[in-house]
Copies of this chain bind each other. A is one copy, B any other.
Amino acid sequence: MKNAKNITELASWLNLSVATVSRVLNGKGESYRISEATIRRVFEAAKQFNYSPNRIARGLKLEKTDTLGLIIPDVANNFFASIAKTIELEARKNGYSIILCDSLDDETAEFELLNLLAGRKVDGVIIAPVGQNAQHVKNMQDTGMPVIVIDRYFPGIPIPYITTDNYAGSFDAVEHMISQGHKKIACIQGVKNTSPNTDRVRGYMDALKKHGIRPDPSLITGNDYGEQNGYVSTLRLMEPKDRPTAILTLSNLITLGALRALKEKGHRIPNDISIISFDEQPYSAFLECPMTTIEQQRDEIGTLAVKNVLELMKNKGTKDDTQILIKPRLIIRESVKNMNT
């Protein structure tokens, strides 16, 4: 059984024109009133010769590639990997493939990636941007490319986004700490002036204020989402005698660093220090002290992201002001000590 390499070969074998074969293969046989017999012959030949159309040629003609670009800061981070999985599956269901790009948390790389995707003529892009700057994302959108931002948003800049309600996540977590009698609560933050961080810190402060606790600036520390920041910040926070009784960590990697610091210094959770961490992880429940976490709805973010790019693609040109905030879920385990008893 030979293989047909292209539609011309197939057509000539069938003694038909490429036009007819193309129409049949695209399910337009009926509407062109091509005879039953011909239709069947075409399909049989296609199957027999194991013919699969060249999507590159198709893409060139149709000016669409059935391809979506996905830019995330770290594929190895479970949070982003989970989202990527959902996006891939969801996209595939709709006939799209994903070009995966890891921006390495680097704004320059992200910029180049955007250009790369433009050159590759993806039909849309989903991006979890890394920096404070939205200009390059905005530019891409302005070229007519459908763009959905996930994991954050840019205040004042009209790019559709889907992200966690980070404010609520922090707020609930801190209220839970307060309900357990904590008053001196620290916060190890991520990159300043990015919406997730700003909102999480705001939620943290508002929860404190609501319960009559004045936020202490010296208890808000750190400057990026990485492990090292978690480590260093925790060491610093644990130094003074009047140290905090609880820490809110704003990313899973920060938490990892915090755990390392605590372990190194022999501090135990929750007896020596309480912790709530952003991001549920596969092992959260099985840590030395099962971790109370703020779980982002990764599946929902992913699903909505592709639903919305698809939407954007359909209604190209029309304004889209999708702004979706998804409530996270506080998973209460044992990492917050009850100080009331």
When the two chains form their complex, are residues B143 and A3 in contact, meaning their CB atoms are under 8 A apart? yes
| Set of chain B residues within 8 Å of A157, measured between Cβ atoms | none
CA distance A116 to B98 in the complex (A): 12
| Set of chain B residues within 8 Å of A3, measured between Cβ atoms | 143
A99 close to B (CB within 8 Å): yes
When the two chains form their complex, are residues A75 and B84 in contact, meaning their CB atoms are under 8 A apart? yes
| Set of chain B residues within 8 Å of A256, measured between Cβ atoms | 282-283, 286
Shortest A166–chain B CB gap in Å is: 22
| Set of chain B residues within 8 Å of A120, measured between Cβ atoms | 55-56, 97
A100 close to B (CB within 8 Å): yes
Q: Contacts A99-B98, A281-B283, A282-B281 known; A118 to B76 CB distance under 8 Å?
A: no
CA distance A101 to B70 in the complex (A): 13
A57 close to B (CB within 8 Å): yes
CA distance A141 to B124 in the complex (A): 31
| Set of chain B residues within 8 Å of A76, measured between Cβ atoms | 78, 81-82, 85
Shortest A37–chain B CB gap in Å is: 27
CA distance A67 to B74 in the complex (A): 20
Total copies of the chain: 2
When the two chains form their complex, are residues B97 and A99 in contact, meaning their CB atoms are under 8 A apart? yes
Shortest A259–chain B CB gap in Å is: 4
| Set of chain B residues within 8 Å of A119, measured between Cβ atoms | 52-55
Shortest A73–chain B CB gap in Å is: 11
A88 close to B (CB within 8 Å): yes
| Set of chain B residues within 8 Å of A300, measured between Cβ atoms | none
CA distance A287 to B289 in the complex (A): 8
| Set of chain B residues within 8 Å of A97, measured between Cβ atoms | 99-101, 116, 120
Q: Contacts A3-B143, A75-B88, A98-B99 known; A57 to B60 CB distance under 8 Å?
A: yes
A121 close to B (CB within 8 Å): yes
CA distance A98 to B122 in the complex (A): 13
A316 close to B (CB within 8 Å): no
Q: Which of B74, B85, B101, B286 contacts A75 (CB under 8 A)?
A: B85
A9 close to B (CB within 8 Å): no
| Set of chain B residues within 8 Å of A287, measured between Cβ atoms | 283, 286-288
Q: Which A residues form the contact surface with B (CB < 8 A)?
A: 3, 52-57, 59-60, 65, 67, 70, 74-76, 78, 81-82, 84-85, 88-89, 92, 97-102, 104, 115-116, 118-121, 143, 252, 256, 259-260, 263, 281-289
List 28 interface pairs A-B (beta carbons < 8 Å), by A numbering.
Answer: A52-B118, A54-B60, A55-B119, A55-B120, A56-B56, A56-B59, A56-B120, A56-B121, A57-B60, A67-B99, A70-B100, A74-B85, A75-B82, A75-B85, A75-B88, A78-B81, A81-B81, A81-B84, A88-B100, A89-B102, A97-B120, A252-B282, A256-B282, A256-B283, A260-B285, A260-B286, A283-B283, A283-B287
